[in-house]
Amino acid sequence: MSEEKSLNFLEEIVEADLAAGKYSSIVTRFPPEPNGYLHIGHSKSICLNFGLAKKYGGKTNLRFDDTNPVTEDTEYVESIKDDIRWLGFNWAEELYASDYFDKLYEYAVTLIRKGLAYVDDSTSEEIATLKGTPTEPGKDSVYRSRSVEENLQLFSDMKAGKYKDGEKVLRAKIDMAHTNMLMRDPIIYRIKHAHHHRTGDKWCVYPMYDFAHGQSDSIENITHSICTLEFIPHRELYDWLIEKLEIFPSHQYEFARLNMTYTVMSKRKLLQLVNEGFVNGWDDPRMPTISGFRRKGYTAESIRTFCDKIGVAKRENFIDLSLLEFCLREHLNKIAKRVMAVLDPVKLVITNYEDGKTEMLNSENGPDESMGTRTIPFSKELWIEREDFMEVPAKKWFRLAPGAMVRLKSAYIIKCDAFIKDVNGNITELHCSYIPESKSSNDTSGISVKGTIHWVNIATALEAEVRMYDRLFKVENPASEEGDFKDFINPHSLEIIQKAYLEPSLATAAIEDRYQFIRKGYFCLDKDSTANQLVFNRTVTLKDTWSKEANK
Ligand code: ATP
Ligand code: MG
């Protein structure tokens, strides 16, 4: 079915490991910290981890990396699960690093017993000073030579709550002159008197990332632990701890994180956008979160296709948002029903059409016959787009103008006979006549026109609010600009059309249903819709207007 593709470097590693009989099957994990909603970057990691396991008949665990008690929240846990399911993946087990706190504590005790960890009373400043620099070796802390017994006692006292935050830490005893700074006796446990979203007040010592991640991988028999490039220097410590603890040998592999233009992707920055009211929540359609894209009308398939297309790189780069939009348009073009909606209405009266008459016209739902047809009402008074009329037509103008003819989509050819303006010079009404023999389904008029415009029958029109979303930032890489990234927010990222008119078939639209509003773009019904007020979001324009601008 799919074209033959060469293997990415992770697939090569997995195939070699399986061929060598290193594992009977592979186990991967997706390890989010529940301190925010997932963003499009995470979808890369999700597609990769779940994709590998799926391809090679293995399994993927969902592990919440909840070792930091302060920033985590159950709201985030739920949103993460929703997003992964929506993307189309199922995890083998739902696990929490905090469930391993007892085990991790035991591992720390094991290291102490082996003379490979010690309690240090130095302040964080002293620890930093003694650490040295990449070109100078560090110096041993005076506490480094404590006896095993003393360390066991002190660590147990730390756990019992005898000390305040920061008074003592537990450090691995490796080498203060190591060329890798992370190997210079890294801190593996710290004191933090804080409530944890799952373990409550049971613990006041918490493992550091490096002492939790690899050990959790090992506890779960993870064969391939895939993370982003910034963890390359951590790999040595990852391997050291597993070796010294003599536990299941998980291995870490690194790939380049996904960076995308016109957005920011760190949860810390996204949280600022939410907390400071630049957007309306984590699922605001302008957010690069999975829930934001979903609410905006993106399909899970288009995100998966995008992740597949960008591949797995070993070098950092920026992917153009246009590529994601391209994948989206390709998918929506296949599945979205075509309907008519007028976003900037002006009234059109067909003067020679019978008063009070309504015809039901057939219209196809899409280019593909399998999408079927529907009927739409047509009568004397219609809404059309203001921009489809020009009083003084430009060159090559094939739409309405005084004396000009166009076809009304799925209906008749009309000719513009007159127009009415208000005192400010705005067009308020167009008067046209129709050619009865030109009905789309049976055109015997012999007249050919170059332009076709969409319309909505006034008497049966549905009113809707339409939220026109655009990119949240006006520069390609807001995080790398000088100054605050929020200074680069696009002031036109949301423009609300209070009253647009839609054809009546949209009365049955459900939340997240996606449509093509003919000639206007792709739209989906927003969850803010009520029985009395429809709200549509613009998902994406029909064409890529941004890259055109960039190429000017
Ligand atoms: P952030 O910096 O946005 O807070 P994070 O790496 O701290 O991200 P985690 O919840 O720890 O977020 O990430 C879970 C998994 O997703 C990790 O394995 C991480 O490597 C991966 N991940 C996070 N951001 C990206 C990205 N931009 N591209 C690819 N993978 C990512
Ligand atoms: Mg993280």
Distance from the alpha carbon of residue 486 to the mean position of ligand 1, in angstroms: 21
Task: Judge contact between 88 and 304, C-beta under 8 A.
Answer: yes
Distant-in-sequence, close-in-space partners of 210: CB < 8 Å, separation ≥ 6: 182, 186, 188, 234, 237, 238, 241
Pocket test for ligand 1, best of 8, 29, 42, 67 (most atoms within 8 A of CB): 42
Distance from the alpha carbon of residue 254 to the mean position of ligand 2, in angstroms: 14
Query: 330 and 345: one domain?
Result: no
DSSP character at residue 404: -
- Nearest residue by C-alpha to atom 2 in ligand 1: 266
Distance from the alpha carbon of residue 227 to the mean position of ligand 1, in angstroms: 8
Over the stretch 183-200, which tens digit does the pLDDT of each residue have?
Answer: 999 999 999 999 998 999
Is residue 397 situated within a structural domain?
A: yes
Is residue 470 situated within a structural domain?
A: yes
Task: Judge contact between 72 and 326, C-beta under 8 A.
Answer: no
Q: Is the dihedral of CA 316, 320, 321, 327 positive or negative?
A: negative
- Nearest residue by C-alpha to atom 3 in ligand 1: 266
Domain boundary among the residues 255, 285, 301 is at 255
Distance from the alpha carbon of residue 269 to the mean position of ligand 2, in angstroms: 13
Nearest-ligand number for the alpha carbon of 209: 2
Domain boundary among the residues 255, 284, 301 is at 255
For residue 552, the model assigns a pLDDT of: 41
Ligand 1 atom closest to the Cα of residue 227 is: 20
Over the stretch 246-302, which tens digit does the pLDDT of each residue have?
Answer: 999 999 999 999 999 999 999 999 999 999 999 999 999 999 999 999 999 999 999
Query: 49 and 161: one domain?
Result: yes
Query: 111 and 168: one domain?
Result: yes
Ligand 1 atom closest to the Cα of residue 49 is: 18
- Nearest residue by C-alpha to atom 10 in ligand 1: 32
Is residue 437 situated within a structural domain?
A: yes
Which tokens hold the place of 271?
């949280």
- Domain around 494: 267-337+464-550
Task: Judge contact between 69 and 195, C-beta under 8 A.
Answer: yes
Closest Cα to residue 430, out of 396, 385, 394?
Answer: 385
Is residue 499 situated within a structural domain?
A: yes
For residue 1, the model assigns a pLDDT of: 46
Query: 333 and 350: one domain?
Result: no
Distant-in-sequence, close-in-space partners of 339: CB < 8 Å, separation ≥ 6: 502, 503, 505, 506, 515, 516, 517, 518
Pocket residues for ligand 1 (CB within 6 Å)? 31-33, 41-42, 44-45, 65, 227-228, 257-258, 265-267
Which tokens hold the place of 534?
């429809």
For residue 544, the model assigns a pLDDT of: 83
Nearest-ligand number for the alpha carbon of 307: 1
Ligand 1 atom closest to the Cα of residue 265 is: 3
Instruction: Label the pairing between strands 462-469 and 337-339.
Output: unpaired
Query: 234 and 300: one domain?
Result: no
For residue 550, the model assigns a pLDDT of: 43
- Nearest residue by C-alpha to atom 18 in ligand 1: 227
Nearest-ligand number for the alpha carbon of 46: 1
Is residue 2 situated within a structural domain?
A: no
Pocket test for ligand 1, best of 80, 228, 269, 287 (most atoms within 8 A of CB): 228
Task: Judge contact between 209 and 93, C-beta under 8 A.
Answer: no
Which tokens hold the place of 192?
């933090």
Query: 132 and 243: one domain?
Result: yes
Ligand 1 atom closest to the Cα of residue 259 is: 27
Task: Judge contact between 528 and 496, C-beta under 8 A.
Answer: no
Cα separation values, 454 from 72, 87, 255, 313, Å: 50, 34, 48, 45
Query: 197 and 279: one domain?
Result: no
CATH number at residue 432: 2.40.240.10
CATH number at residue 18: 3.40.50.620
Is residue 4 situated within a structural domain?
A: no
Q: Which residues are part of the catalytic machinery? A: 33, 257, 267
501 sits in which H/E element: strand 494-502
Grouping H, G, I as helix, E, B as strand and the rest as coil, residue 337 is: strand
Distance from the alpha carbon of residue 51 to the mean position of ligand 1, in angstroms: 17
Closest Cα to residue 45, out of 287, 265, 361?
Answer: 265
Instruction: For the beta carbon of residue 229, count every other beta carbon within 10 angstroms.
Output: 14
Nearest-ligand number for the alpha carbon of 33: 1
Distance from the alpha carbon of residue 9 to the mean position of ligand 1, in angstroms: 20
For residue 4, the model assigns a pLDDT of: 65
Domain boundary among the residues 396, 424, 454 is at 454
Instruction: For the beta carbon of residue 517, count every other beta carbon within 10 angstroms.
Output: 24
Distance from the alpha carbon of residue 307 to the mean position of ligand 2, in angstroms: 20
- Nearest residue by C-alpha to atom 15 in ligand 1: 32
- Count: domains in the chain: 3
For residue 225, the model assigns a pLDDT of: 98
- Tracing tokens 């209070």 back to the chain, one arrives at 498
- Provide the residue type at 402 as one letter: P
Instruction: For the beta carbon of residue 491, count every other beta carbon within 10 angstroms.
Output: 8
Query: 251 and 280: one domain?
Result: no
Measured in residues, the chain has a length of 552
Is residue 434 situated within a structural domain?
A: yes
Is residue 303 situated within a structural domain?
A: yes
CB-proximal residues (5 Å) to ion ligand 2: 33
Query: 119 and 96: one domain?
Result: yes
Query: 300 and 221: one domain?
Result: no
Query: 234 and 364: one domain?
Result: no
Closest Cα to residue 224, out of 59, 89, 41, 90?
Answer: 59
Query: 361 and 398: one domain?
Result: yes
Task: Judge contact between 342 and 455, C-beta under 8 A.
Answer: yes
Residues in the chain predicted with pLDDT less than 70, given as ranges, are 1-4, 72, 547-552
- Nearest residue by C-alpha to atom 23 in ligand 1: 42
DSSP character at residue 521: E
